[in-house]
Amino acid sequence: MNTLFVIINIIILLALIVGLFMMQKKHVSFSKRVFAGLGLGLLFGVIINLIYGTDSFVTEHTIEWFNIVGSGYVKLLQMVVMPLIFVSIVGAFTKVTLSKNLGKISFYGIGILILTTGIAAAIAIATTVGFGLDGMELHEGEAEKARNEALAERAAMVEDLTIPEQILSFFPSNPFADLTGSRPTSTIAVVIFAAFIGMAYLGVKRKQPEQGEFFKKIIDALYAIVMRIVTLVLRLTPYGVLALMVKVAATSNYAAIINLGKFVVASYVALIAMFIVQLLLISFAKLNPITFVKKGMPALTFAFTSRSSAGTLPLNIKTQTDGYGVSEGVANFIGPFGLSIGQNGCAGTYPAMLAVMAAPTVGINPLDPGFIVSLILVIMISSFGVAGVGGGATFASLIVLSVLNLPVAIVGLLITVEPLIDMGRTALNVSGSMMSGVLTGKITGELNEEVYNDKNSLNEVVEA
């Protein structure tokens, strides 16, 4: 009988997928189909949760089958992440405008990412204090104990790393291994490796123009192929979001969420406040923040459901270039850097909240100005090299807590609400990356405002 219920659930999912496909046939916009997938997935997931529970045979096996669509879609995006990072960075150097503005683009792009991470940390500190969150109020159950045991080895590795050693871990001693994502800092290592190749190209272009032009054609061809793969995968976004949202809603422990409700609410207050700051920065650049949100919504929706900044990179870059009018050079440069530098959610908001909560447990006053300044500076520095995949926030938190000599066990005490909060954190990471691209493009003259203000630009490209 249980198997029958699983089959029924699979049939329902297939019916919903057919419904989304019919919406595409009727030329319903990409954004509306993504939102339809999000809403239908949430509703279906809640129904499964209410009827079967989170740990039942039906729920577990239903999600196992649904993962073919949801996790399969994420894997397809992750499949192109490292090739896209590599070819995007190298390709960015082959753009004539980037060659002229490379110093400015690097300074403003990376500077905006780091600065906004510091602002996110400050907002998180204020929110944590305002809500009166205290690490001593958290209790360790069986799940939390198991989580901390799993984190123990990783925490030991982080605790032994000094800041100079952490910086050294960014360097790609074996770039081919890093292309496989073998280390937590593989993403920034690939970015650095690709940047070196790009700088070498600029040198060859000056001294050996024929070879430089030949290399440029190779990179342009590779970039065209990779972006075509990206376009093919992005067409599956509504179906992937549907399946991912079913999984989140069906497997969430709502009782645990209620118990830690204050922390969840405080987290989202901090995340939303930082998102508003990002929109204010867009406004200060004399750009419409509503347009920014509307065109960025497909990328933000996928980031929210997939919990993967790296998986969202293809949609991130495409949104910047085809939706916002950011030049390919800037988008291809800032997008990959945003995966491992200055993540406003995972590297800024979350570690700051945990540090403030953990401080009283060792007799530190979280309102002490010295502690606050030290915390923000450590967060800004440690935001380098945070992996843009699930678990990046944990890695960043372990680093920050270890550097400040705070107990790292608090990281495992929030495991029950981790997925729910991680959704918002990842969306903030991606919005911060896209914001940096837009602002950098605006400052350096690499932003086409006609494309930015064109209401249909992104949708037309995705449908192409």
Alpha carbon 425 to its chain centroid, in Å, reads 7
**Which positions ≥6 away from 306 have C-beta within 8 Å?**
74, 77, 240, 244, 312, 426
Q: For residues 116 and 348, what is the distance between their CA atoms, to the nearest angstrom?
A: 8
DSSP 385-407: T--SSTTHHHHHHHHHHHHTT--
Average of pLDDT values for 111-126? 93
The ranges assigned to domains in the chain are 2-463
Question: Which tens digits make up the pLDDT trace of 300-344?
Answer: 988 887 777 877 888 898 899 989 999 888 888 888 888 778 789
Task: Give yes or no for residue 36 having a pLDDT over 50.
Answer: yes
Please, which residues bridge with residue 326 across strands?
447
pTM reported for the whole predicted model: 0.80
Name the pLDDT band for 162 (thresholds 50, 70, 90): low
The first and second tokens of residue 358, run together, are 């953990």
Q: For residues 90 and 212, what is the distance between their CA atoms, to the nearest angstrom?
A: 12
User: Rounded to a whole number, what is the distance in angstroms from the first to the last CA of the chain?
Assistant: 45
Cα dist from 119 to 1, 286, 342, 359, whole Å: 54, 21, 11, 20
405, 359 contact by CB (below 8 A): no
Q: For residues 273 and 379, what is the distance between their CA atoms, to the nearest angstrom?
A: 18
Query: Which long-range contacts link 161-165 to residues 24+ away (Cβ below 8 Å)?
Result: 161/399, 161/402, 163/381, 163/403
Please, which residues bridge with residue 447 across strands?
326
Cα dist from 286 to 21, 43, 114, 178, 283, whole Å: 38, 38, 22, 40, 5
Question: Which tens digits make up the pLDDT trace of 209-267?
Answer: 889 889 989 988 988 898 888 788 878 888 988 998 898 888 877 766 776 778 889 99
Higher pLDDT, 122 or 150: 122
DSSP 323-361: IS-B-HHHHHHHHHHHHHS--IIIIIIHHHHHHHHHGGG
Question: Which tens digits make up the pLDDT trace of 382-402?
Answer: 777 665 445 567 777 777 887
Residue 392 has a pLDDT of 63
When the pLDDT of each residue in the chain is averaged and rounded to a whole number, the result is 82
**Which positions ≥6 away from 136 have C-beta within 8 Å?**
360, 361
Residue with tokens 């659930």: 9
The first and second tokens of residue 443, run together, are 């400052």
What are the backbone angles phi and psi of residue 26, rounded to the nearest 5°?
-90, 10
34: nearest Cα among 459, 455, 460, 464: 459
Largest CA distance in the chain: 73
Q: For residues 438 and 109, what is the distance between their CA atoms, to the nearest angstrom?
A: 9
Task: Give yes or no for residue 464 having a pLDDT over 50.
Answer: no
Q: For residues 422 and 389, what is the distance between their CA atoms, to the nearest angstrom?
A: 10
**Which positions ≥6 away from 396 have C-beta within 8 Å?**
343, 346, 347, 350, 351, 379, 382, 383, 386
Q: Give the rounded percent of residues in the chain with a pLDDT score beyond 70.
A: 86
CATH architecture classification, 2-463: Orthogonal Bundle (1.10)
Q: For residues 100 and 361, what is the distance between their CA atoms, to the nearest angstrom?
A: 52
Task: Give yes or no for residue 27 having a pLDDT over 70.
Answer: yes
305: nearest Cα among 225, 379, 242: 242
Radius of gyration in angstroms for the set of CA atoms belonging to the chain, rounded to a whole number? 22
